[in-house]
Structure 1
């Protein structure tokens, strides 16, 4: 978290709010909705978020610092262990915890029950947000709410659709009302503490996730190698896409370079919208077999390499 503080209005309030849940529960979608700007990547694939992404929202006199955590699941390798550890650390550090549950799942499975037990011992204050409720009959929602509250005893339950915004305003109003009194931790106009280089890399990684299939996206990472500002306001960004095997590199590039060209065009357009200036994006694809075991990458992501 930034050390820079700002007083905000008189009688200001501030809360760190951790968004937790299983992969694909809708945490990143809710974060972007709450902040009113895209600060966390969203795809249809699970385990998209690798690090803790902070989005900052103002609600009356309250500053809400949302932490979009990696989904909690049974980890299988070093990166996944670090991701899950980051999620649980965010829970313990937060003033308020919002547990998102995909209402379309109808009932918690063993993995969800384990998360709920963890929340019971690690979260100081927690609320339940049943997401995607527009696709579920009300009777089923009441039964599901009762089941989940039996497992974790939430202070409040909110029925929301993070995608279209239904019920989100009520959730934000409650969080703002419960925020402890104290100075704002970020300037009024800041919406994220994600460095621009990392933000740009995340945008490109999102486009790779959306254009590649099966397991390939999980075998890659993106690094912003160079960032050059020009007098006309434009920026030149050089990024490297690292993959673990030569066969993966060929798939990522595509026949005649079509796949990586499409990714570059989509990422460049997204960055131009977010940065509000011309962007010249250059992508290079390389093989680095053991990038997943490089401690420097974990440090850049804010993850514990030894988790």
Structure 2
């Protein structure tokens, strides 16, 4: 539990801690107050072990998120006005035989005219 310094009645913290004991996979709780330096005490008791995955390996999920962010950034570059109500979603992601990716994203808006402005004629603005 974080920010315990904000709780006036410390007995309430113990009541909440007891409720956690019934949760699946519960092992123990930590009560932390950043004002009183509780973080450093807890980090000393952390178990050191090797990474389960190589932190420098790019997973497909991370690559999909990057693809969404690249399009979002490109939209901001193309237009002077930010269209807040236009969303886009990753629909399909295929690795092609030539090493390229085919990424399909859909734009969602309450007004079709906004999506047409974003995409341009035949996709000329975002490709």
Counterpart check, 1:263 vs 2:126: yes
Whether the aligned pair in 1 keeps the contact of 2:5 and 2:33 (CA below 8 Å) is: no
Query: Aligned equivalents of 1:185 and 1:121: distance in 2?
Result: 34
Q: Which consecutive aligned stretches of 4+ in structure 1 deviate over 4 angstroms post-superposition?
A: 118-123, 191-194
Q: Match of 1:228?
A: 94
TM-superposed deviation, 1:223 = 1.8
Q: Give the strand-richer structure, 1 or 2.
A: 1
Name stretches of at least 5 consecutive residues in structure 2 with no aligned partner: 8-30
Query: Aligned equivalents of 1:192 and 1:125: distance in 2?
Result: 35
TM-superposed deviation, 1:207 = 1.8
Whether the aligned pair in 1 keeps the contact of 2:118 and 2:125 (CA below 8 Å) is: no
Q: Match of 1:199?
A: 66
Counterpart check, 1:187 vs 2:50: no
Q: 1:245 to 1:235 in 2, by over 3 A?
A: same
Q: 1:232 to 1:119 in 2, by over 3 A?
A: farther
Name stretches of at least 5 consecutive residues in structure 1 with no aligned partner: 1-90, 93-117, 127-152, 156-174, 265-307
TM-score, structure 1 normalization: 0.25
Find the residue that maps to 1:181 and give its secondary structure.
coil
Aligned residues: 98
Whether the aligned pair in 2 keeps the contact of 1:225 and 1:239 (CA below 8 Å) is: yes
Q: Match of 1:124?
A: 32
Find the residue that maps to 1:238 and give its secondary structure.
strand
Query: Aligned equivalents of 1:215 and 1:119: distance in 2?
Result: 40
Whether the aligned pair in 2 keeps the contact of 1:226 and 1:237 (CA below 8 Å) is: yes
- RCO higher in 1 or 2 (8 Å CA, sep ≥ 6)? 1
1:152-191 equivalences under 5 Å are 153=35, 178=43, 180-190=46-56
Whether the aligned pair in 2 keeps the contact of 1:202 and 1:222 (CA below 8 Å) is: no
Query: Aligned equivalents of 2:52 and 2:115: distance in 1?
Result: 40
TM-score, structure 2 normalization: 0.50
Q: 1:262 to 1:125 in 2, by over 3 A?
A: farther
Q: 1:193 to 1:233 in 2, by over 3 A?
A: closer
Query: Aligned equivalents of 2:57 and 2:4: distance in 1?
Result: 27
